[in-house]
Amino acid sequence: MAETTNLNIRIDRDLKERADAVFSEMGMNMTTAFNIFVRQTLRQGKIPFEIYADQFYSDSNMKVLRASIADMDAGRGIVRKTMEELEAMENG
């Protein structure tokens, strides 16, 4: 058996509890899950899943959101329409 060592990491308590629950459903603990992650990383030579930025927070989306908030603050909000009015716009 390979010699083992301890690794201490800090993680948000709620995140850990949620992960523990998921891993438990899979029949493993956090140590096993982390070992799988590390082995796959070494085997593939990369993080074994795609990492990307949440597009919600992209510069372009934030610009649109800020403009929408400014419009709402200035009283230029979306006018509510009935289904009939929306259908008339679509067919118009």
CA distance 34 to 13: 17
Q: What is the pLDDT along the chain (92 residues), one digit of tens a residue?
A: 789 999 999 999 999 999 999 999 999 999 999 999 999 999 999 999 988 778 888 888 889 889 888 988 888 877 777 888 888 888 86
Q: Which residues contact 89 (CB under 8 A, 6 or more apart)?
A: 81
How far is the C-alpha of 76 from the C-alpha of 7, rounded, in Å? Answer: 55
